[in-house]
Amino acid sequence: MKKSILLLTFSFITLSTLAQGRLTKGHIQLNAGLGTSGWGTPVYVGLDYGIHEDITLGGELSYRSKSEHFGNSKYKSSVTGIGINGNYHFNRVLEISSKWDFYAGLGLNYYIWNYENEAYKANDASDIGLGAQIGGRYFFNDNLGINLELGGGNATSGGKIGITYKF
Protein backbone atom coordinates (compact mmCIF):
# COMPACT_ATOMS: atom_id res chain seq x y z
CA MET A 1 0.00 0.00 0.00
CA LYS A 2 2.78 2.45 0.90
CA LYS A 3 4.54 1.69 -2.38
CA SER A 4 1.32 2.34 -4.32
CA ILE A 5 0.74 5.68 -2.60
CA LEU A 6 4.37 6.68 -3.13
CA LEU A 7 4.21 5.70 -6.82
CA LEU A 8 0.92 7.54 -7.31
CA THR A 9 2.26 10.66 -5.57
CA PHE A 10 5.48 10.60 -7.62
CA SER A 11 3.51 10.13 -10.85
CA PHE A 12 1.18 12.96 -9.95
CA ILE A 13 4.07 15.31 -9.14
CA THR A 14 5.79 14.36 -12.40
CA LEU A 15 2.65 14.96 -14.45
CA SER A 16 1.95 18.20 -12.61
CA THR A 17 5.33 19.63 -13.43
CA LEU A 18 4.50 19.35 -17.11
CA ALA A 19 1.56 21.55 -16.92
CA GLN A 20 -1.19 24.90 -14.24
CA GLY A 21 -4.79 25.77 -13.62
CA ARG A 22 -4.45 28.59 -11.17
CA LEU A 23 -7.46 29.94 -9.30
CA THR A 24 -6.80 33.67 -9.33
CA LYS A 25 -7.30 35.99 -6.39
CA GLY A 26 -10.96 36.85 -5.83
CA HIS A 27 -12.35 33.97 -7.89
CA ILE A 28 -14.24 30.83 -6.81
CA GLN A 29 -14.23 27.22 -7.91
CA LEU A 30 -16.78 24.52 -7.11
CA ASN A 31 -15.62 20.93 -6.49
CA ALA A 32 -17.87 17.87 -6.25
CA GLY A 33 -17.40 14.12 -6.43
CA LEU A 34 -16.90 10.81 -4.66
CA GLY A 35 -14.41 9.77 -2.02
CA THR A 36 -12.87 6.53 -0.85
CA SER A 37 -13.06 5.01 2.59
CA GLY A 38 -13.28 1.61 4.21
CA TRP A 39 -16.66 2.67 5.55
CA GLY A 40 -19.15 3.60 2.83
CA THR A 41 -18.67 5.76 -0.26
CA PRO A 42 -18.52 9.45 0.63
CA VAL A 43 -19.94 12.21 -1.57
CA TYR A 44 -18.66 15.74 -1.24
CA VAL A 45 -19.13 19.30 -2.46
CA GLY A 46 -16.80 22.20 -1.73
CA LEU A 47 -15.80 25.72 -2.70
CA ASP A 48 -12.33 27.26 -2.95
CA TYR A 49 -11.72 31.02 -2.93
CA GLY A 50 -8.48 32.58 -4.17
CA ILE A 51 -7.08 34.91 -1.48
CA HIS A 52 -3.61 35.21 -3.07
CA GLU A 53 -2.17 34.15 -6.40
CA ASP A 54 -0.86 30.94 -4.77
CA ILE A 55 -3.26 30.41 -1.81
CA THR A 56 -6.90 29.36 -1.54
CA LEU A 57 -9.28 29.02 1.40
CA GLY A 58 -12.23 26.71 1.10
CA GLY A 59 -15.06 24.84 2.70
CA GLU A 60 -16.44 21.38 2.16
CA LEU A 61 -19.53 19.34 3.05
CA SER A 62 -19.44 15.56 2.82
CA TYR A 63 -21.68 12.64 3.64
CA ARG A 64 -21.24 8.88 3.84
CA SER A 65 -23.30 6.02 5.20
CA LYS A 66 -23.13 2.30 5.65
CA SER A 67 -25.65 -0.42 6.52
CA GLU A 68 -24.69 -3.83 7.89
CA HIS A 69 -26.42 -6.95 9.13
CA PHE A 70 -25.17 -8.86 12.15
CA GLY A 71 -27.31 -11.89 12.74
CA ASN A 72 -30.93 -10.72 12.73
CA SER A 73 -30.02 -7.10 13.49
CA LYS A 74 -29.53 -4.34 10.98
CA TYR A 75 -27.19 -1.46 11.80
CA LYS A 76 -27.05 1.83 9.93
CA SER A 77 -24.41 4.50 10.42
CA SER A 78 -23.75 7.83 8.75
CA VAL A 79 -21.36 10.74 9.11
CA THR A 80 -21.69 14.28 7.87
CA GLY A 81 -18.48 16.27 7.59
CA ILE A 82 -18.17 20.04 7.64
CA GLY A 83 -14.69 21.38 6.98
CA ILE A 84 -12.51 24.32 6.11
CA ASN A 85 -9.19 24.09 4.31
CA GLY A 86 -6.29 26.12 3.07
CA ASN A 87 -4.11 25.13 0.14
CA TYR A 88 -0.88 26.36 -1.38
CA HIS A 89 -0.82 26.01 -5.17
CA PHE A 90 2.61 25.25 -6.64
CA ASN A 91 1.81 26.25 -10.23
CA ARG A 92 3.67 29.55 -10.36
CA VAL A 93 6.70 28.27 -8.44
CA LEU A 94 7.02 25.17 -10.63
CA GLU A 95 6.07 27.05 -13.83
CA ILE A 96 3.33 24.55 -14.64
CA SER A 97 1.09 24.91 -17.72
CA SER A 98 -2.39 26.42 -17.27
CA LYS A 99 -4.16 23.09 -17.82
CA TRP A 100 -2.92 21.74 -14.47
CA ASP A 101 -3.16 22.72 -10.81
CA PHE A 102 -0.97 21.06 -8.16
CA TYR A 103 -1.61 21.88 -4.47
CA ALA A 104 -1.16 20.78 -0.87
CA GLY A 105 -2.66 22.03 2.37
CA LEU A 106 -4.34 21.52 5.73
CA GLY A 107 -7.96 21.22 6.80
CA LEU A 108 -10.01 21.41 9.98
CA ASN A 109 -13.12 19.22 10.01
CA TYR A 110 -16.12 18.61 12.27
CA TYR A 111 -18.06 15.35 12.14
CA ILE A 112 -21.67 14.55 13.00
CA TRP A 113 -22.09 10.79 13.54
CA ASN A 114 -25.43 8.95 13.57
CA TYR A 115 -25.95 5.30 14.58
CA GLU A 116 -29.10 3.25 14.66
CA ASN A 117 -30.49 -0.27 14.82
CA GLU A 118 -33.91 -1.69 15.73
CA ALA A 119 -33.43 -0.99 19.46
CA TYR A 120 -31.10 2.02 19.57
CA LYS A 121 -30.68 5.36 17.84
CA ALA A 122 -28.06 8.01 18.63
CA ASN A 123 -26.86 11.29 17.24
CA ASP A 124 -23.34 11.86 18.42
CA ALA A 125 -21.75 15.13 17.33
CA SER A 126 -18.23 13.97 17.85
CA ASP A 127 -14.69 14.84 16.95
CA ILE A 128 -12.88 17.60 15.25
CA GLY A 129 -10.21 16.36 12.88
CA LEU A 130 -7.09 18.02 11.57
CA GLY A 131 -6.16 16.74 8.15
CA ALA A 132 -3.72 17.23 5.33
CA GLN A 133 -4.20 16.84 1.60
CA ILE A 134 -2.23 16.81 -1.63
CA GLY A 135 -3.97 16.97 -4.95
CA GLY A 136 -4.22 18.14 -8.48
CA ARG A 137 -6.60 19.12 -11.22
CA TYR A 138 -6.59 18.89 -14.99
CA PHE A 139 -8.67 21.49 -16.85
CA PHE A 140 -10.32 20.66 -20.18
CA ASN A 141 -11.00 24.36 -20.79
CA ASP A 142 -10.86 27.61 -18.79
CA ASN A 143 -13.67 26.53 -16.44
CA LEU A 144 -14.15 22.75 -16.30
CA GLY A 145 -11.73 20.17 -14.95
CA ILE A 146 -11.31 16.93 -13.01
CA ASN A 147 -9.65 16.65 -9.61
CA LEU A 148 -7.86 13.98 -7.63
CA GLU A 149 -6.89 14.42 -3.99
CA LEU A 150 -5.22 12.19 -1.41
CA GLY A 151 -5.34 12.92 2.28
CA GLY A 152 -6.77 12.20 5.68
CA GLY A 153 -8.49 13.74 8.66
CA ASN A 154 -11.82 14.34 6.94
CA ALA A 155 -14.96 12.37 6.12
CA THR A 156 -13.51 11.38 2.73
CA SER A 157 -10.20 10.18 4.20
CA GLY A 158 -8.11 8.26 1.74
CA GLY A 159 -8.88 10.01 -1.48
CA LYS A 160 -11.45 11.65 -3.68
CA ILE A 161 -12.10 12.22 -7.33
CA GLY A 162 -14.50 14.64 -8.91
CA ILE A 163 -15.12 17.63 -11.10
CA THR A 164 -14.12 21.27 -10.70
CA TYR A 165 -15.87 24.30 -12.14
CA LYS A 166 -14.26 27.78 -11.99
CA PHE A 167 -16.45 30.88 -11.78
Least confident among 24-28, 126-130, 163-167: 126-130
CA 68 to chain centre: 26
**Domain residue extents for the chain:** 2-166
pTM over 0.85: no
State the average pLDDT over residues 139-166. 88
Structure-model confidence comparison of residues 76 and 61, the more confident one: 61
pLDDT of residue 29: 95
- CATH number attached to the domain at 2-166: 2.40.160.20
Q: Answer yes or no: are the C-beta atoms of 83 and 51 closer than 8 Å.
A: no
Q: For all residues of the chain together, what is the average pLDDT?
A: 83
State the average pLDDT over residues 56-75. 88
* Helix/strand/coil (H/E/C) assignment for every residue in the chain: CHHHHHHHHHHHHHHHCCCCCCCCCCCEEEEEEEEECCCCCCEEEEEEEEEECCEEEEEEEEEEEEEEEECCEEEEEEEEEEEEEEEEECHHHHCCCCCEEEEEEEEEEEEEEEEECCCCEEEECCCEEEEEEEEEEEECCCCEEEEEEEEECCCCCEEEEEEEEEC
